[in-house]
Structure 1
């Protein structure tokens, strides 16, 4: 029962997929982070289905690309993009660490968040338009699972910048050994599957994901003293964008 509740907690928190409503208890949240990657599996499966449907119905390339970019936002509610925007505002404020942490909590958006999101969106859509190989597209779809595996690992492994907030609550209630073991196993299986689908696209996408993961830790520690819920969203957005670019590059080689 706790496993089922843990799945519901993960999907209720990080997606717009309807889940049963119940009072969350600490034991329900203990393993919920193990199921965070499954949201990525749903996104990837829906994107793959959309690709098959668009090919079957002869949907235009532009419509396919734009809807492909919109589907993850529809499924998740854009929770991670909100974190990306808040982090962009904080990073480009060039203020002391304490002030940057305050900016992360500010519900208002600044000019830099809008500018950086527009830049990201243009690059992301351009990358999607270049993923013309079927196997590379499948690798990209798997990337939504991998990015959430790495994000979950960061929650239970990296230092938290604050002692409050959603990320700290999930990190402090998680069964560290069990969650880490589950996420490491899922990460390994996902990486092997991506490499099996396409060696070139898989290598590039996995390398891009782990490069962003290392950069995320370095930048978060330097700028904020650790990670927060907002920086977790920043990582997820950046990681998925990097894997889209990597998949696109593989189609040019």
Structure 2
């Protein structure tokens, strides 16, 4: 049975409608898939950027916290150093006051003679050399001359040594601002023992410094050893 033109036209129209419907459905499918992939990619990018933003601000927060700790530490150190300097200045002022009092003490002739005699004997015992050069203040030159014989006798009695030669340097004297005392030299100046008032004060002060600091400022909580 042959188809007439109308039937052919209808079939063609039907096929065109079918193809168009398929195309529409395909387009919708592609658009739906594209929308889904877009949403997935958008979600991925948003999550990725959100993670980067969170990471960035976490780093910033840590940097700020670190800077805050550093600043706090610097301020604490500066404050601690300021306190330590103030304490040290006070301790040094006490030492200077002690030195001035000792200078006044040496003006008491009877007491100073006793002190100087002991300092001479002690210096001889420290050196234990047969030939010793002694330096003193110019004001003490005559006094040291008078005290040396007795100091040598005491030295010889203690060590049972007879041969010892002492000389007072009459060309080079100790500075006038020294409170008192003497210096000893042996082996042509290679060995020196300073037994001035300032030297003795410095030695005793350094030995007593921990006790002085504790009496003035209390126990140091950060100190581990006291021996």
TM-score, with length taken from structure 2: 0.25
Higher helix share: 1
Larger Rg: 2
TM-score (normalised: structure 1) = 0.23
Structure with the larger strand share: 2
**Larger RCO (CA within 8 A; separation ≥ 6):** 1
